[in-house]
Chains A and B, each alone.
Chain A
Amino acid sequence: MIALSQVSRSFTVGDQEVSALRGIDLDIAAGDYVSIMGPSGSGKSTLLNLIGLLDRPSSGTYKLDGGDVTALDDVQQARVRSEKIGFVFQSFHLVPRLTAAMNIELPMILAGIPPEERKERVAKLIENYGLKDRADHRPDQLSGGQRQRVAIARATSMNPAVLLADEPTGNLDQTTGREVMALLEQLVEQKVTLILVTHDPMLGGRAHRQIQMVDGAIISDNGKKT
C-alpha cells in the first residue's frame, strides 16, 4: 500500500546541508502495524511526516495505493490527507477554542460532509472513545489522556486507511499511555494500517513489524520481504 523508493530528505541549516533521510526503501502492506524506532534525530519523525504528506521528499518516489503522491498538487494532496490519512501528534494539536466534539468534527467540516451525517459520526466517536461527559469541554479543560483520545477520534473521523502516530504517548503518563495504545491497537483490528513512531522499545515492540532507524537510514526491519 505504501511504497517508498530511494526517498531522501535534506534540510538546509545555515549554509549546511543536513540529511534527515538517506535513500529509504520501504513497503508497508495494508492493515499492517508498524513501529519506527530510533534515537532522536534519526529521521523517524521526518519519515512519518513524508508518509503523511506533511512534508515532501527531496528525492525519490512515494506511491500510495499505487499512485505517485509526491507529484500531486496542493488540492490533490489535501484530498489524500483528508480521505486516506489520519494523524495523531505527540502534542495533540487540538484547536484550543473548539470543544472536544467540534475538534472531532473539524476534518469532516473541512471535507464538506453534510451536518446531519457529521453529528451522527461525532456522536458515535464520542461514545466509542468514552468522551461522552467531556464532549462540550474545550481542550484546556481536558486531561492529557482525554486530549489524545479526542485527537485519535479526530484522526479516525474520516475513516482513513492509514493512521500515523508520532510519539502518541510522549506527553502522557504510563497508565494513560497504555490506554491510548490500547485504543490505537483496537484500530489495527479494524484493518487500519497503523504506523507508530516512538523512541521507546517497549512500546515499539508491540507492533507486528519493527523498524530501527539511525542517522536517516533503516538499519533493521523484521518484516522486510527478502
Chain B
Amino acid sequence: MRLADVAQFATGSLRGSPTRTLLMMLAMAIGVAAVVVLTALGEGARRYVVDQFSSLGTNLVIVLPGHTETAGIGPGMLLGQIPREITLDDAEAIQRSASVKRIAPLTVGSAMLSRGSLNREVVVLGSTSNLLEVRHMNLGIGKFLPEGDIHESASVCVLGNQMKRELFGNDQAVGQWVRLGDRRFRVIGVLAAQGESMGMRTDELVIVPVASAHQLFNTSGLFRVLIEAKGRDVIEQAKHEAEQIMLQRHHGEKDVTVITQDAVLATFDRILTALTMAVGGIAAISLAVAGVLIMNVMLIAVAQRVKEIGLLKALGAPGKRIRNLFFAEAALLSGIGSIAGLVLGYAGSLIIRQVYPVLPATPPWWAVLAACGTALGTGILFSVWPARRAAKLDPVAALAGR
C-alpha cells in the first residue's frame, strides 16, 4: 500500500465520522490543555514564591572585619593587634567582581539627633544609594541617598519612619534641617514603616552617606560590606571572589570574614524543592487523567470498528497493513488534538495571567512536552493495540463483530 494512500485513507476515515473524530479530538485537547493549564498554575505559584523570596534579599553575602581562627590564636592577637579595617576602597574593589550585582558599605554609630528643642540618641547608618535595593527597604517620601562618588560626604540624611514622627509630628520633614552630632543635615527622604530587619529597627534609624558617617564618627573603617550576588547560583562564587579580593588587598592576610545566609538558603532550597515536586505531582496526576481519558475514547472508537477491520482483511489487507492504517489515523488524530490542546492550554494560561497578573502562569516546557507525548503515546497505543488484536482474528469473526 502506498504512503499517500495510507494518509488519504486515514484522513478519509477521520472525516468520514466527524462526530466521533471531533469527540476524540476534544478529549485529547482537554487532556493536553488540562496538563498545560494546571502546570502553568503550579509553575506560576512556584515562580511567585521564588520572586518573593528573592526580594527578601537572600542573595546577600556579608563581609565583616576580623577573622576568627578556629585553630588556636593568630599571631596578630599575640602582638595585640586589632584586625585591619575594611576601607571604602576595599568595598569599591569588591564591587568590580563579576558575580556581584551591587554592594552597600555600612558604617554604624550612634549620635544625638536634634531638631530645635527635641533631641534623642539614634543609631546612624552610613551607606550609599544602593542600600535601598540591597536591603529591600521601602522609601516613604522624598529621595534616598544620592548616587555618585562613594567618598562624597554630602550633608543629607534619610529618617526612619518613627524618627520623623518624633521630630516632626505631622509636619513636612523633607527639606528641613536637623542636627546630627556636630553637623547639620538636610532631610531628603523618609523611609516607609517596615518594622525590624536584620536585627535593626529600621523605623528608628537615620541614614547618611557613608563618607559623612565616617567624618561624624571620625573613623575610616566599615562595619559591614553588604554584597548582593547576581543570582542565587553565584552566591558561593561571590563569596569566594570577595575573600580573594580582600586577601589580595590586605597583602595575603586573611583578616576578614565573609558569610552567607546559609540557614535561610537551606530553607529556601527546601521550599523550592517542595514546590517543584508539587508542580511535578500536579503534572503527573493531570497527565494520568488525560491519558486514561484518551485511552477510553480510543478503545471505544476502535471497538466500534472491528467490522471494518474484518472487511479490510477479507479484501486482502494483512494485519500489519491494518495496523499501519490505524497508526496513521491515530497519529493524525492525536497530533491535531495535541495542537488544539496546546492552543487551548496557552490561551488558558494567558487568561490566568490577565486575571492574576502577580501569578506568572506559564507552563514549564517539560510539562508541555510530556502532555503532547502522553496524548500521542496513549492515542496511538490504544488505537493500534486493539486494532492489532482485531486484525489477528479470523476475518469471519471480525466481520461478525465478535
Check A75–B318 contact: CB distance below 8 A. yes
Q: Which of A23-31, A47-55, A195-203, A206-214 contacts B (4 or more CB under 8 A)?
A: A47-55
Q: Complex Cα distance A81/B311, Å?
A: 11
Say yes or no: A106-B395 contact (C-beta < 8 A), given A97-B12, A112-B2.
no
Say yes or no: A107-B396 contact (C-beta < 8 A), given A97-B13, A97-B16.
no
Q: Does more than half of chain B's interface fall in helix, strand or loop, or is it mixed? A: helix
Check A96–B5 contact: CB distance below 8 A. no
Q: Complex Cα distance A107/B1, Å?
A: 10
Asked if B335 is an interface residue, CB under 8 A from chain A, the answer is no
Asked if A56 is an interface residue, CB under 8 A from chain B, the answer is yes
Q: Complex Cα distance A154/B315, Å?
A: 9
Asked if B376 is an interface residue, CB under 8 A from chain A, the answer is no
Q: Complex Cα distance A95/B308, Å?
A: 7
Asked if B152 is an interface residue, CB under 8 A from chain A, the answer is no
Cβ contact of B319, chosen from A74, A89, A93, cutoff 8 A? A74
Residue of A nearest to B313 (CB): A78
Asked if B9 is an interface residue, CB under 8 A from chain A, the answer is yes
Residue of A nearest to B392 (CB): A74
Q: Complex Cα distance A114/B316, Å?
A: 16
Asked if B317 is an interface residue, CB under 8 A from chain A, the answer is yes
Contact sample, A vs B, 19 pairs, CB 8 Å cutoff: A52-B314, A53-B395, A54-B314, A54-B395, A54-B396, A56-B394, A74-B318, A74-B319, A74-B320, A74-B392, A78-B316, A78-B318, A81-B313, A82-B315, A82-B316, A96-B16, A102-B12, A112-B1, A112-B5
Chain A 73-102 near chain B by CB (<8 Å), digits 1 or 0: 011011101110101010001011110001
Residue of B nearest to A48 (CB): B396
Contacts of A110 in B (CB 8 A): 1, 312, 315-317, 321
CB distance from B20 to the nearest CB of A (A): 11
Contacts of B319 in A (CB 8 A): 74-75, 78
- Which residues from chain B sit less than 8 Å from chain A, CB to CB? 1-2, 4-5, 9, 12-13, 15-17, 307-308, 311-321, 392, 394-397, 399
Check A55–B396 contact: CB distance below 8 A. yes
CB distance from A99 to the nearest CB of B (A): 10
Check A107–B394 contact: CB distance below 8 A. no
Q: Complex Cα distance A49/B400, Å?
A: 12
Contacts of A107 in B (CB 8 A): 315-316
Check B394–A55 contact: CB distance below 8 A. yes
Chain A 113-124 near chain B by CB (<8 Å), digits 1 or 0: 011000000000
Check B314–A87 contact: CB distance below 8 A. yes
Check A95–B311 contact: CB distance below 8 A. yes
Asked if A182 is an interface residue, CB under 8 A from chain B, the answer is no
Residue of B nearest to A45 (CB): B396
Asked if A71 is an interface residue, CB under 8 A from chain B, the answer is no
Residue of A nearest to B318 (CB): A78
Residue among B307, B315, B396 having the largest count of chain A Cβ atoms under 10 Å:
B315
